[in-house]
Structure 1
Amino acid sequence: MFLNSTVILFYSNMLFGVILSLSSNNWVMLWVGLEISMMSFIPLMTSNLMISSESAMKYFIIQSMSSSIFILGVVFMLMGVNINYEMIIVLSMCMKMGVAPFHSWVLSMIEGMNYMMMFNMFTVMKIVPMMVMINMNLNLNLIIMLTLIIGSVFGLNQNSIRSLLAYSSIFNMGFMIYSMKNFSLWIMYFLLYSINLFMLIKILNLNNINYLNQLIINKVELKSKLSVWILMLSSGGMPPMMGFMGKLIVIELSLNFNDWVITVIMVITSLLTMFYYNRLCFTIMSISSLITKWKINNSSWLSINIMIINLSTMPFIILLKYLN
């Protein structure tokens, strides 16, 4: 997508909608902000892909439906009806974000989007629904367990990079929803996930990689392979990468709350995601296994930066934790 005045207008409108929702002090303005960001996001989704218009229509229908359910919950709350309106609002937000069991729409529309719009959908568009869920303060353990299991198990047999990232996003949503119990940890996890996803999407976009076998068949240079390898390990949560830090702090939080079932599911599902990311890494790197991997002087600035960010973030966060 070329950066022109239209794109800048829609991007700024989308961010304005998010900021309006975050800074509003009543439910109606929060809903207005959600609608502004949604209506600005849909034109940005359209691209030269054949199914982009279909994806945009699916996105519009799902978001409209979830907004209607949200308004219904708000009306029940304002009327003082003896109904669990908090659960209605939370379920509408889950549908808006694509959390399991409302995740099917994400996978059906993801193939019609470009990588940068995927990044926006997985990060920026989830901030407001998360804030609403934090304010509701409900026990969402069942949704968290479902999200973790579906995000890890269904990602095992994917061949498309977009589907892999979508299932990875669903899996990470489980960690994000659990980390809501501590707001500062939620911000930390969200930032770590966003930075890692942005770097991975940037590399995939630069090399125009859409399917796993392209990394093997294409003549992708070793620098890019090394970068993808490090980012995949980080996304899977391999220590001492940046992605491991996020998972570690959330699992530590679950241990503090004595949620043993959630902790066990988090560890097992993390191993499954680690497996499908590692499978990809080994496939990429073993094709050029005779080449020395650590020739830093031959690497590009991008791969060096990715390596530095991934390897230095975790010690830096641990240092900050102990300084506090």
Structure 2
Amino acid sequence: MKFNLTNILLLYMMMMGILLTVSSNNWMMMWSGLEISLMSFIPLMSGGVIGSESSMKYFIVQSISSAMLIMSIMFMISMNGMYYFLMTVSLSMKMGVAPFHNWILSMISSLTFFMLFILLTLMKIAPLVMLSYLNSYYDLLIFFSLMFGSIFSLNQNSTRKLLGYSSIYNMGYMLSSINMNYIWMMYLFIYSTILLVLVLMMSKLKINYLNQFMINEHSMSMKMNLWVTMLSMGGMPPLMGFFPKFIIFQMMIIKKMFLLLLMMILTSLIVMFFYIRMVILSFINYSMVMKHNMKSFTKISFWSFMMNTNFFPILILLKSLN
């Protein structure tokens, strides 16, 4: 994406819409912030025939969910108990949580990696904040997100769709921790940080499909860093991505939600499988890079490697010192 004045203005308006939703204490102002961020995001993603089609899909889905949100606010004013269901469904559609996730997978292939990162992280902050205000439990949505995000990713070949299914899976963790003292904010921050490193690397290496991991001429240090980032995204201990999952597991044990905890552990093994499958292609014998050719790290690969490998052990050490 080219950073001209128009795109910078649209990004600024999108951030203002998100901040308006987060900082408001009125449901109508929150809805206004959602609409501002929506109308600022659509011109950013449009471009070409495929981009225009994706922006139209995004606009239709978001318009339907916004209409349902307005209806739920009207039911809330009229003291109708149905507003909980309508508001949950509308906000789930806005975030692309399973089973309302098909629209995000149909439009994700035409987005650039930068717009993909915004769609999977920043555009979910405002709906998550609104869901946290409802102070309810979303066990069915969590179950669907864990199942769809893990199992349906096994037969995918596009890296963008794999990141989309991974986002759906991680939304299950965020929804499970949405009533646990804002742990979901910490989870979303760490997930966004790891996803940003992964998106920067894939954009630099121009990796769009899984077979491009195998037929490449990248350095071994870049492959090692990509491997560590993938494992961190899947939640492999003791990497950085395991830290928020570890806290959520502890909270689940304290609240005695053992069935949901068992579902999270089992599906995390499936997610770890397809992340390992993505990077193992870089290390097989058909790779065009000599395996002993360990060159110096670039700045991005060095700092992301150090962040992923040392974040969790340092936190455990600080906790033991206290």
- Would the TM-score normalized by the shorter structure come out above 0.5? yes
Return the structure number with greater helix share: 1
Partner residue in 1 for 2:300: 302
Tell me by how many angstroms 1:272 deviates: 0.1
Aligned to 1:74: 73
Distance 1:89 1:60, change over 3 A: same
Q: Distance in 2 between matches of 1:102 and 1:147?
A: 10
| Code of the aligned partner of 1:67 | S
1:31 aligns with 2:22: no
The residue number in structure 2 matching 1:58 is 57
Identity of aligned residues (%): 43
Shift of 1:54: 0.6
What is the match of residue 285 of structure 1? Answer: 283
1:39-72 per-residue CA deviation (whole Å, 9 max, x = no partner) reads 0001111245x41111100000001100100100
Match of 1:130 in 2: 128
For 1:197 and 1:80, how far apart are their aligned partners in 2? 41
> After the TM superposition, which of the residue ranges 283-292 and 91-100 deviates more from structure 2?
283-292
* Partner Cα distance (1:110, 1:217) in 2: 24
Amino acid at match of 1:32: S
Residue 279 of structure 1, CA deviation: 1.3
Counterpart of 1:41 in structure 2 is 41
CA-to-aligned-CA distance 1:269-313 (integer Å, 9 cap, x gap): 0000000011122111224586247x4x62222211111010121
| Cα-Cα RMSD | 1.6
TM-score of the superposed pair, with normalisation by structure 2: 0.95
**Unpaired stretches in structure 2, ≥5 consecutive residues:** none
> What CA distance in whole angstroms lies between the structure 2 residues aligned with 1:319 and 1:226?
25
Q: Deviations over 1:171-211 (max 9, x none)?
A: 00000111112234212111110000000000000111111
Q: Secondary structure at the match of 1:180?
A: coil
Q: Could you tell which deviates more after superposition, 264-273 or 138-147? A: 138-147
Distance 1:8 1:183 in 2: 34
2:189 maps to what in 1?
191
How many angstroms apart in 1 are the aligned matches of 2:47 and 2:320? 47
Native 8 Å contact 1:54 1:112 kept in 2: no
Which whole-Å CA distance do the structure 1 matches of 2:181 and 2:117 have between them?
22
Q: Contact 2:214–2:284 (CA<8 Å) still a contact in 1?
A: no
Moved more, 259-268 or 185-194: 185-194
Select 1:268's aligned residue among 266, 269, 293: 266
Counterpart pick for 1:109 among 86, 107, 110: 107
Residue 281 of structure 2: SS of its match in structure 1?
A: helix
What TM-score do the two structures reach when normalised by structure 1?
0.95
Structure 1 CA distance, aligned partners of 2:299 and 2:8?
Answer: 28
- Give 1:54's aligned amino acid: E
Report the equivalent of 1:21: 21
* Alignment CA distance shift 1:129-1:216 (3 Å): same
- Structure 2: distance between partners of 1:121 and 1:319: 35
Letter in 2 for 1:145: F
Aligned equivalents of 2:47, 2:235: Cα separation in 1: 32
Matches within 5 A, 1:249-264: 249-264=247-262
Is residue 191 of structure 2 the alignment partner of residue 218 of structure 1? no
Contact 2:211 2:281 in 1 (8 A): no
Q: Corresponding residue for 1:172?
A: 170
* Range moving further from structure 2, 183-192 or 30-39: 183-192
What's the CA shift for 1:319?
4.2
User: What do the CA deviations read for 1:206-236 (whole angstroms, capped 9, x no partner)?
Assistant: 1111111112123223232222111111111
Please give the alpha-carbon distance, in whole angstroms, between the structure 1 residues aligned to 2:196 and 2:319: 25
Between the aligned partners of 2:255 and 2:158, the Cα distance in structure 1 is 37
Task: Measure the CA separation in 2 of the matches of 1:92 and 1:315.
Answer: 40
Which position in structure 1 is the counterpart of 2:246? 248
